[in-house]
Structure 1
């Protein structure tokens, strides 16, 4: 094996076997960021992940206020599990009627993006809709509010924005959704998610 430094950012490597046959390539040094407090997963995110997966990682919210012929569900459920290395969360949203699961509507993944230095949330549904956005921690009226703002893309080419705000409790959390209508955020539903036993 033969190495030759071409510059501060490039190196030539040649590997030869018996008979003089082999291969060669040029390696380039990429820009790396120092590992510091800004490039590692923030403490609030680790705590939020641990909160969501604690117990069985299952949460249930009463849907009686919004139940209708078009939406015949008694409750909604969420289930969260760790991703690889406990650096991400995988989740799903499903419906319940008479305490029985009726199917998964959404799948989620939430992770810390070390290069962009932000929390990314992605979600997918069976109809081909994809949502992606950034999750942040904000302080409001002395409470820690986890805010997620996403853009959704439909298979028909349509796109729209939605926002969620969560306030973690001890064994529950409040989740509120907002729709972006005519340049303004309009409050939508509020659910209290309780830890499933």
Structure 2
């Protein structure tokens, strides 16, 4: 029998819930699976199911690692720095809009900052669907130019997760919450 799991955004504070068989679930913050887990169990578990809890939890974790690595892991210090650098909701609207149809592969990791900058610059020059004014355009491109490849990959991963999992959610709500992510990250992981 095939095991069934599913993953859903919890709808607030960048939290996610992974649910496995028997109704056992793990709630965690995006990118911080190991640092923010909260396990919930349904009432009425049999003693046999309670004994198998470690196995059930391991299976959920393995399934997440195999199928949703982009949601459960990140480089916290790079993500924090990228979000602090891009500290305007409208920047994230533009980045998300500019990269929504982007195909990212492993080759990006060595030149992510250049690729991301180029995509957003092209978007600003040819589309600018969200109507950034000239000062916002200049500041966004300046902020993007300060990102290193690791930080730029975090930006790409953040936006990828949005388009893959949150696409029914308002971009504005997502961007507003995203700016709080560094505050939810444990101090020792922020790279400060």
* TM-score bracket, shorter-length normalisation: under 0.3
Task: From the two aligned structures, give the one with the greater helix fraction.
Answer: 2
Task: From the two aligned structures, give the one with the greater strand fraction.
Answer: 1
TM-score, length of structure 2 as denominator length? 0.22
**Structure whose CA Rg is larger:** 1
TM-score, length of structure 1 as denominator length? 0.22
